[in-house]
Amino acid sequence: MNRYKFSALLIALFLLNACSGNATKDGTDDVLVEERNGASTSGVTGQGADGSDLGAEASVIVGEDGYAGSELNDPSNPLSNRVIYFDYDSASVRPQDQPIVEAHAAYLGKNPNLTVRLEGHTDERGSREYNLALGERRALSIRQLLMLQGASAQQFRVTSFGEERPAVDGSDESAWSQNRRVEIIYIGR
Amino acid sequence: MAPKLIRSLALMAMFFMPIQASAVLKVEITGGSDSALPIAIVPFGAEGIKAPEDITSIIRNDLESTGRFAPLDNQDLVSRPTEQSQVNFADWRLLRSEGLVIGKISSQDGENYQVQFQLFDVYRGQQLAGKRYQVPASGLRALGHQIADVIYETLTGEKGIFSTRLAFVTQITAGDGKKRFALQISDADGANPRTVLQSTQPIMSPSWGPDGNQLAYVSFENGKTEVFVQQLQSGQRKSVASFEGINSAPAWSPDGKKLALTLSRNGNPEIYVMELANGDLIRVTNNAQAIDTEAVWSRDGNEIYFTSDRGGRPQIYKVSANGGRAERISFEGNYNASPDLSPDGSKLAMVHGANGGFYIAVQDLKTGAMQVLTDSGRAESPSFAPNGQMILYATEQKGSGVLAAVSVDGRIHQRLSESGTVVREPAWSPLKK
Amino acid sequence: MKHPIVQTLLAGGTSTILHILLFLLLIFSFDMPTDIRQFGQPEVEIVQATVVDEDLVLEEMARLQEAEEKKRAAEEERQQKLDEQLEKTQDELARKEQEFLDMQERAKLDAEKLKQEAELEQQRLKELEQQRIEQEEARKQAELERQQAEQAKQKAEAERKAAEEAKQRADAERLAAEKAREEAVAKRKAEEEARRKAEEEAKRKAEEEAKRKAEEEAKRKAEEEAKRKAAEAEAKRKAAEAEAKRKAEAERLAAEKSRAEAEQALQRQLDAEAEQRKQKRIAGVLDTYGLQIQQRITRYWTKPANAEAGLLVTLEVKLIPGGDIRSVRVIKSSGSEIFDRSAENAVYKAAPMPMPSDPDAAQKIISEGIEIYFKPE
């Protein structure tokens, strides 16, 4: 046991050292998560590129009901951003995504007839069932923020798909970072 | 004084005379070879017929797949006896084959087949096992597995698992780019797969009922998680959990009367136990801030192992099936999830995250010692074989999910499916009752 | 001057006086008063009165007178002598007896006085007698009286004679007695002396004897003691010698034994060492051989994958000279049939075994076989 722990610690230190060079968001967030929980500082992730700027490329997803307001389709409008991305194993909205969440909150607040489905997703790594719960946690995290900023509880349906419906197939950080997300899907008035 | 001294010295010399001088040569053999057991499987004699199934190959593959048997190549066989009278053991000894399997297959009508086999101890020239069967053509494959089970059990002392089945989820991407999901079951060797559920939506977490005749699973077919129980013989299915939020991670109690589930109907994923007869629920965990999921029953049905991140990162815990205070079980590293309990209840297989990878690990519940069994870093969904010797799991090969198995000591690795179809979430059936 | 009593006596008759004198004399002459009466009685009874013829008497008287005269003279003389002797004797007696009793002294003095008186009396009586004879002659008438007197005289004479005799006899006896007494005394003294001397001598002799005996005894004892001591010392010495000898012998034997044993032990040791060297050589060969066997069997042992730690099977393997298996026997099963079989098969598969070139080692392997333990790890 001790030997395992010791080697785990060594590996962790090695990884932290390796990560510090490219200062990935994942790595940073991972450490933050651990600090929050007071657990060991070893990193589970630490591989892959910075996924923070990939969100802009996410395609617009239109709900099955086919609703698409003009604001939502205006690429210059923040509402056209309806995918919030997350760091690995995190349900915290990143600061740069806060304006998007605020915009949606304001929009939902102005349009109380609108209903959205919040779909939580994770990347493929780790336990599928855990990821299912993590996806839900992300969706609930967004719902919480939206409600704090003007939306009401009745406007939401929350669903988690875990890792089952990745936005991008692939087993690299590029794919994973696009898959760790909550999709805000307007489903109608 | 001097003579006394001499005398005592002489006595001492006699006492300390080396004992090995008169002892038999003793040799200690430790370790030995981990290599597979050499065994000769002579193609069964088919008397003037062409059988629809190559039983000999089935047996041979079964045994070989475990990594514990090394069947001789057919071209190395010194002779091809089909009856004991034709066997010259000295020949087989020269090949250093410890076991010899011979058999015959015959049919009068091409519909029903008579099959017999014999297993010999080559060095003693003794028969270790021998049976005669009569099966329809459709049963020949199953019979092959059955014979492999007999041979396996005779030579290893463990139950053969070749007649058991696997359940797993497949995913194919159709020509239109859309994904198709299927819940399938197959023979233990991965062969003979048959779909029991097909969906355009994901399917998760198949779980065998203890009788081996029903499966519980999670289907997204209605746009959200929902737990179903399906009878395999009839194909009849029933949604048992479709609450608000997550309905997932079904696990059968050992007596088959209850289903442990993960439900977030109250806002947070918690473990519940459902009485299948009436759908009554008992909440087992209560931790609003944490994810509690992936329940596994203890063998006596009194306790539930589960995954929780209540400590910050996912780890394995144990709680009474009636609820109460949970006890942390896993301590190695900062990611342990997807527990599965060995049939004898002594070991817990799990996904162990380390160095950014995920591995199959097994923890001895008595000592707490954990051993990592795989090295690919892409492993998930461990499931114990019903004889406890192997752990089936999903991994990735060339970007495609495949099934693999590892012996509980980590020495034997085998692949159960070829890449091409994404195969995941395997679950090994219980032994046939 | 005459004492009235004496006058009377003289008048009464001289014989009576004589008798009294004699009597007194006798009384006082003997030193033993008890004898007095015995001496006096016969004298009294002897006296006899006799009547005689006148003529005869006259004749006789004349003759007698003459005889008497003579006799009287003789008597006187004798008396004188006797008196003298008596006196002498009396003196002697008195002197002799002086020492003894005062009574005797006084008596003696009295006796002397009486004697002197008696002497005087006798003088006077003599004179009177003469007067009377002369008168008789003169007067015949007085014959009778004279006869009587004669008779008395005779009687007295007889008495005197008797007394004389008695006296003589007494004297003799007395002398004899005296002598005897003296002799006796002397004898007694002598005897006494002799006795004393004898006693002294005896005593001296006894003392001497005792002394001698004591000396002898002491000497003897001393000698004996010395002898005993000497004997003891001798015994001791002998014992010590014997012990020393025995010890020496025992030591010699022990030393002999020890030496023999040491030699034997040494021989044994040498033998053992030789055997040991042989065994060591064999052991050396066997060590190497054991490794060979171990490697070979290990290579052929397909250990059951599920063999749990702690399993242990012990096989006894016998070979034939070529190295082929003669027999494989499970001495102690692991409890797992599968594990046991895998071990047995390993041995069979490893055959034929190599054999050591050392014939002793090979022989040992052939004869004793090999014990092989199989453990999973």
Residue A53 clears pLDDT 50, i.e. is over it? no
Number of domains in chain C: 2
On whether the A55-188 domain is CATH 2.60.40.10, my answer is no
Chain B residues in contact with C280 (beta carbon < 8 A): 18, 21
- Give the pLDDT confidence score for residue C129 in this predicted structure: 80
Cross-chain residue pair C302–B17, CB shorter than 8 Å: no
Q: How far apart are CA A57 and CA A174, in angstroms?
A: 12
Q: How far is CA B100 from CA A155, B34, C12, C299, in A?
A: 71, 20, 201, 21
B6 touches C at CB < 8 Å = yes
Residue B21 clears pLDDT 50, i.e. is over it? no
Q: Is residue C97 part of a domain?
A: yes
The nearest alpha carbon in chain B to C376 belongs to: B31
- Give the pLDDT confidence score for residue C21 in this predicted structure: 55
**Highest-pLDDT range among A11-15, B226-230, C361-365, C369-373:** B226-230
Region C270-290: mean pLDDT is: 83
Chain B residues in contact with A125 (beta carbon < 8 A): 358
DSSP codes, C197-219: HHHHHHHHHHHHHHHHHHHHHHH
- Give the pLDDT confidence score for residue B415 in this predicted structure: 83
Q: Mind listing the pLDDT tens digit for each residue in C350-361?
A: 988 988 888 888
Per-residue confidence band for C248, with pLDDT thresholds at 50, 70 and 90:
confident
- Give the pLDDT confidence score for residue A129 in this predicted structure: 96
Chain B nearest C-alpha distance from A91 (Å) = 12
Q: Which residue has the higher pLDDT, A100 or C99?
A: A100
- Give the pLDDT confidence score for residue C192 in this predicted structure: 77
Which residue among C167, C191, C215 closes a domain?
Answer: C191
Cross-chain residue pair B18–C280, CB shorter than 8 Å: yes
Cross-chain residue pair B7–C261, CB shorter than 8 Å: yes
Cross-chain residue pair C265–B4, CB shorter than 8 Å: no
- Mutation target vs A (from B263, B293, B316; most A CBs, 10 A cutoff): B293
Per-residue confidence band for B428, with pLDDT thresholds at 50, 70 and 90:
very high
Per-residue confidence band for B405, with pLDDT thresholds at 50, 70 and 90:
very high
Segments forming the whole domain that contains residue C138 = 4-191
> Which two structure tokens, joined as six digits, stand for C194?
């002799």
Residue C39 clears pLDDT 90, i.e. is over it? no
Q: Mind listing the pLDDT tens digit for each residue in B213-240?
A: 999 999 999 999 999 999 998 889 999 9
Q: Mind listing the pLDDT tens digit for each residue in B61-85?
A: 999 888 889 999 989 898 999 999 9
Per-residue confidence band for C43, with pLDDT thresholds at 50, 70 and 90:
very low
Q: Mind listing the pLDDT tens digit for each residue in C210-242?
A: 888 888 888 888 888 888 888 888 888 888 888
Residue C323 clears pLDDT 70, i.e. is over it? yes
Cross-chain residue pair B314–A42, CB shorter than 8 Å: no
Q: Which residue has the tokens 């630490």?
A: A46
Residue C2 clears pLDDT 50, i.e. is over it? no
Chain C residues in contact with B20 (beta carbon < 8 A): 279, 283
Return the number of other C-beta atoms located less than 10 Å from residue C194's C-beta: 13
**Same domain? C56 vs C178:** yes
Per-residue confidence band for C105, with pLDDT thresholds at 50, 70 and 90:
low
Region C244-268: mean pLDDT is: 84
The domain spans of chain B are: 37-156, 165-428
Region B295-310: mean pLDDT is: 96
Query: Is the preceding peptide bond at B386 cis, omega within 30 degrees of 0?
Result: no
Which residue among C172, C191, C210 closes a domain?
Answer: C191
Chain A residues in contact with B399 (beta carbon < 8 A): 169-171
- Give the pLDDT confidence score for residue B419 in this predicted structure: 56
B272 touches A at CB < 8 Å = no
ipTM exceeding 0.90? no
Region B299-303: mean pLDDT is: 96
Cross-chain residue pair C376–B32, CB shorter than 8 Å: yes
Q: Which residue has the higher pLDDT, B70 or A31?
A: B70
Return the number of other C-beta atoms located less than 10 Å from residue B163's C-beta: 20
Q: Is residue C216 part of a domain?
A: no
Region C370-376: mean pLDDT is: 91
Per-residue confidence band for A14, with pLDDT thresholds at 50, 70 and 90:
very low
The domain spans of chain A are: 2-37, 55-188
B52 touches A at CB < 8 Å = no
Q: Which residue has the higher pLDDT, C124 or C152?
A: C124
Q: Which of B305, B304, B335 is nearest to B322 (CA)?
A: B304
Q: Which residue has the higher pLDDT, A44 or B155?
A: B155
Q: Is residue C237 part of a domain?
A: no
- Give the pLDDT confidence score for residue C60 in this predicted structure: 64
Per CATH, B37-156 and B165-428 having the same topology is answered no
Chain B nearest C-alpha distance from A7 (Å) = 10
- Give the pLDDT confidence score for residue C239 in this predicted structure: 84
What number of C-beta contacts closer than 8 Å exist between B and C?
Answer: 144
Q: Which residue has the higher pLDDT, A45 or A14?
A: A14
- Give the pLDDT confidence score for residue A65 in this predicted structure: 41
- Give the pLDDT confidence score for residue C308 in this predicted structure: 83
Q: Which residue has the higher pLDDT, A181 or C184?
A: A181
Cross-chain residue pair B380–A36, CB shorter than 8 Å: no
Mean pLDDT check: name the lowest of A124-128, B137-141, C60-64: C60-64
Per-residue confidence band for C17, with pLDDT thresholds at 50, 70 and 90:
low
Mean pLDDT check: name the lowest of B29-38, B96-105, B176-185, C145-154: C145-154
- Give the pLDDT confidence score for residue B24 in this predicted structure: 77
Chain A nearest C-alpha distance from B312 (Å) = 5
- Whichever domain contains C364, its CATH number is 3.30.1150.10
Chain B nearest C-alpha distance from A78 (Å) = 27
Which residue among C142, C160, C191 closes a domain?
Answer: C191
Mean pLDDT check: name the lowest of A48-57, A157-166, B322-331, B404-413: A48-57
Across chain B, mean pLDDT equals: 89
- Give the pLDDT confidence score for residue A49 in this predicted structure: 27
Chains A and B contact (Cβ–Cβ under 8 Å for 3 or more pairs): yes
- Mutation target vs C (from B14, B17, B25; most C CBs, 10 A cutoff): B25
Chain B residues in contact with C303 (beta carbon < 8 A): 31-34
Class of domain B165-428: mainly beta
Residue C33 clears pLDDT 60, i.e. is over it? no
The nearest alpha carbon in chain A to B250 belongs to: A129
Cross-chain residue pair A170–B331, CB shorter than 8 Å: no
Chain B residues in contact with A15 (beta carbon < 8 A): 355-356
Mean pLDDT check: name the lowest of B281-295, C202-216, C329-343: C202-216
B93 touches C at CB < 8 Å = yes
Give the C window 253-292 contacts with B, CB below 8 Å. Answer: 255, 258-259, 261-262, 265-266, 268-269, 272, 275-276, 279-280, 282-283, 286, 289-290
Chain B residues in contact with C281 (beta carbon < 8 A): none
Across chain A, mean pLDDT equals: 70
B356 touches A at CB < 8 Å = yes
- Give the pLDDT confidence score for residue B130 in this predicted structure: 94
Q: Mind listing the pLDDT tens digit for each residue in B203-220?
A: 999 999 999 999 999 999
The nearest alpha carbon in chain A to B379 belongs to: A126
Q: Is residue C255 part of a domain?
A: no
The nearest alpha carbon in chain C to B38 belongs to: C302
Return the number of other C-beta atoms located less than 10 Å from residue B257's C-beta: 13
Per-residue confidence band for B322, with pLDDT thresholds at 50, 70 and 90:
very high
Strand partners, A162: A121
pTM for the model:
0.61
CATH architecture for residues B37-156: 3-Layer(aba) Sandwich (3.40)
Residue A17 clears pLDDT 50, i.e. is over it? no
Region C338-365: mean pLDDT is: 89
Residue B295 clears pLDDT 60, i.e. is over it? yes
